[in-house]
Amino acid sequence: MSRNTKTRGVAKRKDKATMPAQGESGEAMAQATNSPLAAELAAFDARRAELEKTYPMKFVVFKGDEFVGAWDTLDAAASQAAIRFGRGPYLIRQVGAPRPTLPASVLWRNTALA
CA end-to-end distance (rounded Å), the chain: 13
Residue 18 inside a domain? The answer is: no
Residue 10 inside a domain? The answer is: no
Taking Cα atoms as reference points, which of 38, 26, 18 lies closest to residue 97? 26
Over residues 36-81, the pLDDT tens digits come to 899 999 999 999 999 999 999 999 999 999 999 999 999 999 999 9
Residue 15 inside a domain? The answer is: no
Residue 64 inside a domain? The answer is: yes
The shares of helix, strand and coil residues in the chain, as percent rounded to the nearest 5, are 40, 20, 35
Residue 80 inside a domain? The answer is: yes
Q: Looking at the 3D structure of the chain, how many domains does it have? A: 1
Residue 9 inside a domain? The answer is: no
Domain containing 65 equals 24-107
Q: What is the CA radius of gyration of the chain?
A: 16
pLDDT at 85: 95
What type of residue is 33?
Answer: T
Beta bridge partners of 85: none
